[in-house]
Amino acid sequence: MKPGSKTDGLHLDAISIGLHGRTLLYLSAVVRPGDVLTVMGPSGSGKSALLAYLGGFLDPVFTANGRLSIDGSDLTGIPAENRRCGMLFQDPLLFPHLSVGGNLLFGLTPSIARHSQRRRMVEQALMDVELQGFFDRDPATLSGGQKARVALQRVMLSAPRFLLLDEPFSKLDSDLRQQTRALIFSTAKAAGLPVILVTHDIADAEAAGGRVVTIGEESGR
Amino acid sequence: MGRQTEDNRNWPQSKGTAMTRRFAVSGFVLALLGLPVLAGLAGTIGPAFGYLPAIGGNGFTFEHFAALATQPHLMRSSMVSLTAGIVATGISLVMVMLFTAGYAGTRMFSRIQHLVSPLLAVPHAAAAFGLAFLVAPSGLAMRLVSPGLTGYTSPPDWLVPQDPLGLTMIVGLVVKEMPFLFLVTLAALPQVPLAQTRHMTANLGYGRIRGFLIASWPLLYRQIRLPVFAVLAYTSSVVDMAMILGPALPAPLPVRLTQWMADSDLRMRFLASAGALLQLVLTMTAVAFWLIAERAGAFVLKRMSGSGIRQPDDRTIRRIACAAMAVSAAFVFLGVLVLFMWSVAGLWPFPSLLPHDITLQPWMRAFPQAVAPVVTTITLAGASAAAALLLAIGLLWQDDLRAGGALRFVLYLPLIVPQLCFVFGLQILGLALGLEASFLLLIFVHLIFVLPYVVLSLSQPWRAFDRRYETVAAGLGKSPLQILLRVRLPMLTRACLTAFAVGFAVSAGLYLPTLLIGAGRIVTITTEAVALSAGGDRRTIGVYALLQTLVPFIGFLIASLVPHLLFRDRRAMRI
């Protein structure tokens, strides 16, 4: 499931977000397929609001302007469920009422309809992250690293057009953090997805290797 | 933690779609709750002034009020209800306030919480019967100390329960309303920064209770004010508990009104309606008194905080408050135990603490007649609770309650207007429109009373839900409806079942609306049990009151067991 013309990338066109008449941030950027844009800033700087805006969930108390488009098609104003924007949070947020396989089937795009094929793709996705045989497991019994990998595969199976990462490594210890980071970035690169990463850890930004923008109080030169 | 709140603010449900569904459910619920209450009030006011064409009342007259005024001991009946309402509400609230002040955040607090929560499921009538069997002259309490301490070998000739001042009735109301106030307080606690405030006041040298009363109570009270008024309205107009525990001659006003209303002579409806307006005035008087008491309380608090007195050692008050909560809970538990003992008692003469022999005869005798009412109760409660749960989910899904205001008030309307003031009118309207007592109508009337409790029960866990799960699901391409059905509701299975069980218990214990709208043709285990109170056969009452307790209890049992079965292999879903 690879989107057709992945040449142009993700365009953030003069995006500004305000709260109660105060402008929180202003941002223009282009993220090419496979590239990572890192957004840094202290808490309260509007990082989460930026991700919410890009994902299509911004609370109406915020005011937002600007255009978001991917590969030439405009995403501004498109409902969240039609944006195909994969999100990863600091918590894996696996659905506790579903099995590991159930979580992945939930994510897998409905364009694959045959039951047997869906099951096979999920098994393959588990194998890709060294979790073969985990289909029927209860997510609550997984380790932190295993959960993070399942969360990543759940997003990838939904055939996203771009990824939004909201400090997805901040709750992992340092060994695990490096592995997970490397896995996510290489997966995104292999799939040719533009990635926007929000973090306050400079090591994350360095590992991402792309452009870094800083927003909020610290950005005021 | 701060992180969490930031996320909840930034990741709401998809707002655009919420807007479009906004109107439908809340408008429906506004009408569903508001219209019957208003129509019912109109249906009471009309006949009170002589207007009821269906039975030949066409004019406008004060004669029914005049007739009401000539009823013997009307003043006494009214005053008993008024004082019982105010005193019972006051005692319940003060108990909850002092206990929360002294113990919030401690292990004792959660222990009492586990003790008190199940009490909500015990129907008022069953609790009243249990209490009566405990404190009556031939009750368990007297048997405990007789003849050893008292020398009595036959029960003394005391008028308890049914004492003329209504003291037993007040105790009965307290043991049932305290758990309700305690649970709404528990629900409001997370919205008050309790721990920080406690640290701050403790650092300044204030004792637990004083610090809490000055710094936290005003905030907390504002949150539970509507439920407090609901308790006030209920206790000042209660029928079933008053029939069992209240004075007999004269009976409290609501009891007499209900007798008039149920009279086979339809012309008594005029008198009953005029009386219902008196009841409305009575409850409004209680509310007015309460508003003054609130002012007085605020003044006292202000003086307390202004005086600078620290009162660092408040162990005595704390222990009294804790003991009061425990004793109050014990009354209900012991009451249920005595009900059980009577239901299997063979020969049980007075001073013996235990029955001489055990027999299943009361059950064998009562059961054949009890089956049909139990089935009716379960069907009625199941249908109204299920409808209420669906509506509650709709309301919360479209996120209208957060806006507060009108809807929150209307939700409490059926609880704040005394039941009989508008149920009378509803019954009269049914009469005027020629409606037969139908099961569907009764379900609808039950729904009016059940829905507020179901919404209250579900809204807390609904709001605590981590919305990032929905964000993830939307990012995976799921529509809002899919997210509701496949993510939110499954994850809130336990909360939904609990809300259902709460609604089920409310419906199962509902007396007055069932009696009047069912018109004697639809009987539930509750109307049957209360009807037995006149006869006084303790063994039969024991069976009926126990059945009445068991029905809602089974609802809660199912609510706590089903998630275990459904999510046997999902560890995170079982807590």
The residues facing A37 across adjacent strands are A196, A211
The complex's ipTM works out to 0.87
* Residue of B15, B468, B571 lying closest to A141 (CB–CB): B571
Q: Which residue type, as a one-letter code, is found at position B327?
A: V
Q: What's the pLDDT at A6?
A: 52
Q: What's the pLDDT at B403?
A: 53
* Helices assigned H by DSSP within B49-162: 63-69, 74-103, 107-116, 124-135, 140-145
Q: What's the pLDDT at A24?
A: 86
Residues from chain A that touch B485, judged by Cβ atoms under 8 A, are none
Q: How far apart are CA A171 and CA B402, in angstroms?
A: 32
Quickly count: other Cβ atoms within 10 Å of residue B413's Cβ.
18
* Residue of A49, A57, A109 lying closest to B477 (CB–CB): A109
Residues from chain B that touch A79, judged by Cβ atoms under 8 A, are 14, 16-17
Q: Which residue type, as a one-letter code, is found at position B194?
A: L
Query: In this structure, what token pair is assigned to residue B388?
Result: 């209420």
Query: In this structure, what token pair is assigned to residue A71?
Result: 């590969």
DSSP state of A29: E
Q: In this structure, are residues B260 and B424 in contact, taking their beta carbons and an 8 Å threshold?
A: no
In the three-class reduction of DSSP (H, G, I as helix; E, B as strand; rest coil), residue B361 is classed as helix
Mean pLDDT score of chain B: 89
Number of helices and strands (H, E) in chain A? 6, 9
Query: B365 burial class (0-12, 13-18, 19+ CB within 10 angstroms)?
Result: middle
B324: CB partners within 8 A, 6+ apart: B95, B98, B99
Residues in chain B: 575
**What pLDDT digit, counting tens, does each position of B186-203 carry?**
888 888 888 889 998 988
Residue B496 has pLDDT above 50, yes or no: yes
Quickly count: other Cβ atoms within 10 Å of residue B523's Cβ.
16
DSSP state of A77: T
Each residue of B223-233: b (16+ CB within 10 Å) or e? ebebbbbbbbb
Which of B47-51, B166-170, B403-407, B531-535 has the highest mean predicted lDDT (pLDDT)? B166-170
Query: In this structure, what token pair is assigned to residue A181?
Result: 């980071």
Residue B436 has pLDDT above 80, yes or no: no
User: If you search the block for the tokens 């239901």, which residue do you land on?
Assistant: B343
Q: What's the pLDDT at B405?
A: 61
Q: In this structure, are residues A159 and A191 in contact, taking their beta carbons and an 8 Å threshold?
A: no
Q: How far apart are CA B283 and CA B262, in angstroms?
A: 22
Residues from chain A that touch B11, judged by Cβ atoms under 8 A, are 48, 52, 57, 59
Residues of A with CB under 8 A from a CB of B: 43-44, 48-49, 51-52, 55-61, 79-87, 89, 91, 93, 95-97, 99, 106-107, 109-110, 138-141, 154-155, 158, 160, 164
The gap from C-alpha B26 to its chain's centroid, in whole angstroms, comes to 24
The chain A residue lying nearest B571, using CA atoms, is A140
**What pLDDT digit, counting tens, does each position of B132-169 carry?**
999 999 899 999 888 888 888 888 888 888 899 999 99
Please indicate if any CB of chain A lies within 8 Å of the CB of B490: yes
Q: What's the pLDDT at B486?
A: 95
Q: In this structure, are residues B389 and B397 in contact, taking their beta carbons and an 8 Å threshold?
A: no
Query: In this structure, what token pair is assigned to residue B285?
Result: 């008087």
* Residue of A60, A82, A87 lying closest to B471 (CB–CB): A87
Quickly count: other Cβ atoms within 10 Å of residue B31's Cβ.
11
Q: In this structure, are residues B180 and B212 in contact, taking their beta carbons and an 8 Å threshold?
A: no
Q: How far apart are CA B271 and CA B261, in angstroms?
A: 8
The reply to whether residue A52 touches residue B476, judged by beta carbons under 8 angstroms, is: no
**What number is the average pLDDT over the span B69-85?**
94
Kindly state the percentage of chain B with pLDDT values over 70: 94
Residues from chain A that touch B572, judged by Cβ atoms under 8 A, are 96, 138-140
Closest CA to B507 of B520, B528, B524: B524
**What pLDDT digit, counting tens, does each position of B260-286 carry?**
988 888 889 899 999 999 999 999 999
- Torsion angle of the four alpha carbons B473, B477, B481, B483, in this order, in degrees rounded to the nearest 10: -10
Please indicate if any CB of chain A lies within 8 Å of the CB of B497: no
Residue B448 has pLDDT above 80, yes or no: yes
* Residue of A49, A91, A106 lying closest to B476 (CB–CB): A106
Each residue of B35-45: b (16+ CB within 10 Å) or e? ebbeebbebbb
Closest CA to A211 of A2, A84, A51, A31: A31
Segments of chain A scoring below 50 in pLDDT: 1-5, 218-221
Q: What angle do CA B62, B66, B70 make, to 5 degrees?
A: 170
Q: What's the pLDDT at B428?
A: 85
Q: What's the pLDDT at B295?
A: 97
Q: How far apart are CA B385 and CA B398, in angstroms?
A: 20
The reply to whether residue B10 touches residue A82, judged by beta carbons under 8 angstroms, is: no
**Residue B401 confidence class, pLDDT cut points 50, 70, 90:** low
The reply to whether residue B573 touches residue A96, judged by beta carbons under 8 angstroms, is: yes
Q: What is the 3-state secondary structure (H, E, C) of B293-306?
A: HHHHHHHHHHHHHH
Asked whether the whole model's pTM tops 0.95, one would answer no
**Chain A to chain B, count of Cβ pairs less than 8 Å apart?**
103
In the three-class reduction of DSSP (H, G, I as helix; E, B as strand; rest coil), residue A17 is classed as strand
Residues from chain B that touch A152, judged by Cβ atoms under 8 A, are none
**What pLDDT digit, counting tens, does each position of B335-391 carry?**
999 999 999 998 998 888 899 999 999 999 998 999 999 999 999 999 999 999 999
